[in-house]
Amino acid sequence: METSLMESVAFNLIKTAVIYLPDDVKQALKKAYAEETSDTAKTQLKTILDNIELAEKFKAPVCQDTGTIIFYVKAGANVKNLEKVEGALINAVRIATKEVPLRPNAVDPFTGKNSGDNTGRYIPFVNWEIVPGDSVELTVMTKGGGSENVCIGGMIVPGEGIKGLKKFVVEAVIKAGAQPCPPNILGVAMGGGADISMKLAKKALLRPLTEHNPNPEIAKLEEEILEAVNMTGIGPMGLGGKTTVLGVHIDYAFRHPASFPAAVAFNCWAARRASARINADGSVEYLSHKVKL
């Protein structure tokens, strides 16, 4: 795989993600606007919808916080030069920071120095999955700081089971309040280990709001948690209303008998992601958006 192609596709995905919210997120926000009855909630959602429209019109980032850049790479086992992919992604981030532009959001935790180009140790972070085939599917998530600050991992008492998980999620949403710029999307995961559940929770944020969990039992749990967290009344931007959360996506791993790790990853209304597939013949399919940059 040509690294220059990977770099240009990654650049296009970053630019697309920060300007154009995916259709499923826009539709969910429009539905929330139609269904809210309080004037304050409607005003907040109208402002968000206007913001989205203006970003598209002026081809400008939908939020000033263009986030931490995270990639998910699903690489075909037969693809050559995979060792050069991370370098291409880092270059794409540097170029996007200058040209889109993106706010520089990568700070050395020891010195407090901002690298100025959204790169640094482990940033952008790249999640790898090796799959059969000879194409590469690339997804970018630009993850806002406000919603990241309230992500939470913990250990449920194993005996409490799913009941304990529900309580854990509702408490996380109440504690988060207005901080993650609601309406939010929640990635919820259990099992594995402390790190595994958080990884799965964050990855679950990539699932479109129109797709429910393929397991009907889990899909039902997603609905139940959605209903419960929306009963908090936190509402759009924390100013009250029916829509605190737009959707809940659950994933899980098997767990140790003595442990019940759980994690909640929050995404804000500016739930930015974009995906493309690069085929072996060099053709590119943009999977998440049908926009011209």
Q: Which residues bind ligand SF4 (CB under 6 A)?
A: 63, 65, 67, 144-147, 180-181, 268-270
Residues 6+ apart with CB under 8 A from 112: none
Please, which residue, 12 or 267, has the CB nearer to ligand SF4?
A: 267
Please, which residue, 88 or 186, has the CB nearer to ligand SF4?
A: 186
DSSP 23-91: HHHHHHHHHHHHH--SHHHHHHHHHHHHHHHHHHHHT--SSS---EEEEEEEEETT-S-GGGHHHHHHH
At its nearest, how many Å lie between ligand SF4 and the CB of residue 144?
2
**Residue 167: count of CB within 10 angstroms of its CB:** 13
Please, which residue, 63 or 264, has the CB nearer to ligand SF4?
A: 63
**Can you tell me whether residue 185 is helix, strand or coil?**
strand
Total residues belonging to the chain: 293
Please, which residue, 65 or 137, has the CB nearer to ligand SF4?
A: 65
CA distance 287 to 282: 15
Amino acid at 265: A
Please, which residue, 154 or 238, has the CB nearer to ligand SF4?
A: 238
At its nearest, how many Å lie between ligand SF4 and the CB of residue 271?
8
- Residue number with the smallest Cβ distance to ligand SF4: 144
